Amino acid sequence: MNVQPRTDTSNDDLASGLRRLGAMDPGEDFAARVMGRIGAAAPQAGPKRRMARVVEWLTEPRSIRVSPLGGIAAAACLLLALGLFFKNYGGFENGATPAGLSPVTFVLAAPSAREVAVIGSFNGWKTAGWTMRNDPATGLWTLTTALPPGSHEYVFLVDGTTPVTDAAAALSVDDGFGSRNSVLLVKNGDGAAL
């Protein structure tokens, strides 16, 4: 843009032009035409523009004001959620054994099974979080977890419908439904010699 210094001559030209404007008739649709031009010239808020705004909002550092009470409540919520998660999903792999629990590995040879889970007295007979991992090369299904000391009854649930007892279990017990449960004795520190 060229910016020229304002002189007396340019001021006179401007005043003259403005006086001529007063004599002009803009027409009845003047406002509509102006608004139409403005609308056409205005930048469109398209998807790209909106996305850019979102990215900008996400990446721009912001200050969040939280009262101490709110902060404590949020932290408590987080702890509660974590606690519920670890309570409901007891199965774990390659983790440290929680205090008071003993590591246990369940193994079942079922090459033709599509899905196998361990259900028992230790998980409320629910499959969620207790699905076993398959090794297609060997046909073995395994699950490593940690259980408290004591006597636990369990079976393998094959393909979600068929209970199968553990042939490797030291004991089995009548399940009251005409079949049997395997019994797992998890030892505590004092009984570890067995």
Partner 1 sequence: MARRFSILLIAFLVAAAWLPGPVDVLASALDAPLRQAQDDGRLTAGDAQAIEASIDQAKAEGLPSAPFTAKAEEGLAKRVTGRAIIQALETMRSDYAFARDALSRGGRAPSPDDVIMAGDSLRLGLTRQELDDMAAFEPPASPAELATAARTRAALNAVVFPARLSDDILRRGLASGALSAQWAQLFRVVQRTREAGIPDAAVAQAATRILADGGGPAELLQELGLTGRDTRKAPGKPSK
Task: Tell me whether strands 102-109 and 140-147 are parallel, antiparallel or unpaired.
Answer: antiparallel
Output 35 or 75, the one with its CB closest to partner 1. 75
Under rule CB under 8 A, residue 22 binds partner 1: no
Q: Which amino acid is at 13?
A: D
Q: Which of 16, 88, 138, 151 binds partner 1 (CB under 8 A)?
A: 151
Output 32 or 76, the one with its CB closest to partner 1. 76
Q: Which of 155, 158, 169, 184 binds partner 1 (CB under 8 A)?
A: 155
Kindly provide the residue ranges of all beta strands, DSSP E only, lying in 110-160, ordered along the sequence: 116-120, 133-135, 140-147, 150-158
What are residue 150's phi and psi, to 5 degrees?
135, -175
State the Cα–Cα distance between residues 179 and 61, nearest whole angstrom.
63
Q: Which of 80, 82, 128, 168 binds partner 1 (CB under 8 A)?
A: 80
How many other CB atoms sit within 10 Å of the CB of residue 154?
Answer: 24
Q: Identify whether the C-beta of residue 143 lies closer than 8 Å to the C-beta of residue 106.
A: yes
Q: Which of 33, 49, 53, 126 binds partner 1 (CB under 8 A)?
A: 126
Under rule CB under 8 A, residue 157 binds partner 1: yes
Sheet hosting strand 140-147, strand order edge to edge: 102-109, 140-147, 133-135
Output 60 or 174, the one with its CB closest to partner 1. 174
Q: Which of residues 56-75 bind partner 1 (CB under 8 A)?
A: 65-67, 69-70, 73-74
Output 14 or 173, the one with its CB closest to partner 1. 173
CA 175 from centre of chain: 38
Q: Report the interface residues with partner 1, using CB under 8 A.
A: 65-67, 69-70, 73-74, 76-77, 80, 102-103, 119, 121, 124-127, 151, 155, 157, 161, 163, 170-179, 183, 185, 187, 189-194
